[in-house]
Chain A
């Protein structure tokens, strides 16, 4: 009966000081029709859950690994070495007058953030199927948390990038202040794609098998191993339709001072990223009502 008393006590405690936080006026239940609103206000109400989910993803990501958090830098670092050997040394791909290793690494840091987030977030609904089937919360929180959790990895890789710049004797210019904006662009792109893919993944697990293929394809469509200056204008600006092209060239410009004009290409990329994210979020919200039944 000890158990019984325990519950009773807590219950009485509640009667005195406890104000239920989610007690909105009235919750309405009705079928949603057509395109629905994003209900971002609700997402804000659940910000603590978002925070805890993010925190879980960060904590769990490198549990029971020998290298632990070192994985965050290993991936872009070794890709950089492979690229430098094959594309830099053997294929002699131009690198806008910058040492090839740092040229590719500056691109690989945001790129790794993008692909890792994409991988995690696209599977987020399926890996948390248990939650989706049993509890109500704005489902957008799941891909959002997975994507944001990748920020820690990005930060570490970015520190390494700064270290490499010092090693090569490249001092960052004042343009470095644009990095947060460029990161935001990468985040939006990643979210946009993840919203689309995670919602589709609920119904069609084909998506999971498409992602490795998609990211590899996308890698070569993005000026990571090569500079976008290989393309003449206006094609280079048009290249910005791939939002990651703008992000990657932006990083090089802001950190390494490459001449590939950041202006038009980044504008096009920003536009594309916005479009991708908004359309993704709308599609996600439209499909959301079926998640619990289908996942």
Chain B
């Protein structure tokens, strides 16, 4: 104890990206440049400059002056929008890539669940892949020998352990791969849920593994878009934005401010700046709000009453059929349902330019209690393209009623399930056993 297991100080990472193309004036210039460019690049290459194949020097800072420390046994979430630098920081910590500036210190072996199945070779058998993958993940042969049986049990592919994995079903493949990753015992575990492929079941396994690891007093870094899971699993959260560390503190606080974006309540989000609002040339999202039926903005709702969710957006280019839709996720990250605009008229009609407000009404006595996280999207069809897709745009809470007229009735225990619809029941009764 005492010393932090991870300490990074003013870490920065610069990437070279293909810059805007120079405008060639004449064909002769173009040809001359085409001949000269390989030599220029070869010269650069020999001097050890790392420019992309494009050879141009446009740079972006994926991370800027990020500093933090993590103590032994902490479970730290790292959140932020796409491109905020979350994955870059993990790559630097696991030494896959070097920082451009700054220094860091890590005590102990790092293992990560983003490596599931990395290095698996389809032509090799399950047994061979366990050894190969284990070695790639940094295990010693002896360690793999010791855990081999456990891994095979865990993966449930024991019958096929000597079959080349190319004959496995994708489920078997993933189970085997996960089982190897789950049996390495790093001091520091990195989970990048953003990159983790796989179904809900697989993600659940990752989360379970994380919980187990943290219970053993090991350190976990968890990168996720799944705010409910972050608040549930992590005690502390680091918020990144455009490569900088914005906030570092207790999860609830940081997640809340991430969702709020520093303005108003969690159930309203507005983008006053028409240029930086989510979206592109065709449409941009300007606001998302959660309201009561009376039109009052609220953060928590009685389970018996309806919830109105609306998005306000600008259509900037005409000629597209656009479908507003909301995705609802619960605290466990389960995708509860999708609400797609069913409006008969707009479903077929190309939208003219202008400001729109599309709202949907979730009936009362339908959702289960708990937090709901809303993704707001606008999808154009033929081809299907999301004009914007804003994750965790807003969030709200459903609170159960104890007045006896909700689905719960007079039941007071925990009610599982992601929805709680109010269904009609009928009861037939005959005192002597037949009708």
Query: Does B182 sit at the interface, judged by CB under 8 A?
Result: yes
Find out whether the CB atom of A29 lies under 8 angstroms from the CB atom of B8.
yes
B61 at the interface (CB under 8 A from A): no
**B119 contacts the other chain (CB 8 A):** yes
> For residue B50, which residues in chain A have a CB less than 8 angstroms away from its CB?
203, 287, 289-290, 293-294
> A4 to B209, alpha carbons, bound, how many Å?
7
Which residue from B45, B109, B135, B183 sits with its C-beta under 8 Å from A200? B45
What 1/0 flags go to B87-126 for Cβ under 8 Å of A? 0000111111111111111111100001100110101100
A contact patch SS: helix
Question: Contacts A28-B103, A131-B119; is A204 near B92 (CB within 8 Å)?
Answer: no
Check if B140 sits within 8 Å of A18, measured CB to CB. Answer: no
Please give, as numbers and ranges, the residues of chain B lying within 8 Å of A55 by CB-CB distance: 132
A97 at the interface (CB under 8 A from B): no
A87–B208 CA distance with the chains assembled, in angstroms = 68
Is A37 in the interface zone, CB < 8 Å from B? no
What chain B residues lie within 8 Å of A6 (beta carbons)? 150, 153-154, 182
A3 at the B interface (CB under 8 A): yes
Q: How far is the CB of B252 from chain A (nearest CB, A)?
A: 26
Is A173's beta carbon under 8 Å from chain B?
A: no
Say whether A264 faces chain B, with CB atoms less than 8 Å apart: no
B106 close to A11 (CB less than 8 A): no
Partner of B182, one of A10, A287, A292: A10
**From DSSP, what is the main secondary structure of chain B's interface residues?**
mixed
> Whole-angstrom distance from the CB of B96 to the nearest CB of chain A?
5
The 8 Å CB contact of A21, one of B104, B118, B121, B143, is B143
Given that A29-B104, A204-B53, A287-B50 are contacting pairs, would A130 and B118 also be in contact in the complex, using a CB cutoff of 8 Å?
yes
What are the residues of chain A within 8 A of B99 when measuring CB–CB?
29-31
B183 touches A30 (CB 8 A): no
| Contact across chains for B102 and A30 when beta carbons are under 8 A apart | yes
Bound state CA distance, A204 and B123, in angstroms?
Answer: 29
Q: Mark A23-61, 1 if CB is under 8 A from B, else 0.
A: 100111111100000000000000011011101100110
Q: List, in ascending order, chain A residues with CB within 8 A of B167's CB.
A: none
Q: Using an 8 Å CB-CB cutoff, how does the interface string of A131-147 with B read, 1 for contact, 0 for none?
A: 11111110000000000
Residue B243, interface by CB 8 Å: no
User: Is B205 at the interface (CB under 8 A from chain A)?
Assistant: yes
Bound CA–CA A292/B124 (angstroms): 25
Q: Are A29 and B103 in contact (CB under 8 A)?
A: yes
Are B52's CB and A294's CB within 8 A?
yes
B48 within 8 A of A: yes
In whole angstroms, how far apart are the Cα atoms of A134 and B192 in the complex?
11
Does chain B have a CB within 8 A of A208? Answer: no
Q: Say how far A239's CB is from chain B's closest CB, in angstroms.
A: 27
Interface string of A188-225 (1 = CB under 8 A from B): 00000000000010011100000000000000000000
Cα A56 to Cα B164 with chains together (Å): 13
Inter-chain contacts of B91 with A (CB < 8 A): 292
Is B208 in contact with A30, judged by CB distance below 8 angstroms? no
Q: Which residues in A have some Cβ–Cβ distance to B below 8 Å?
A: 3-4, 6-15, 18, 20-23, 26-32, 48-49, 51-53, 55-56, 59-60, 63-64, 128, 130-137, 200, 203-205, 283, 286-287, 289-290, 292-294
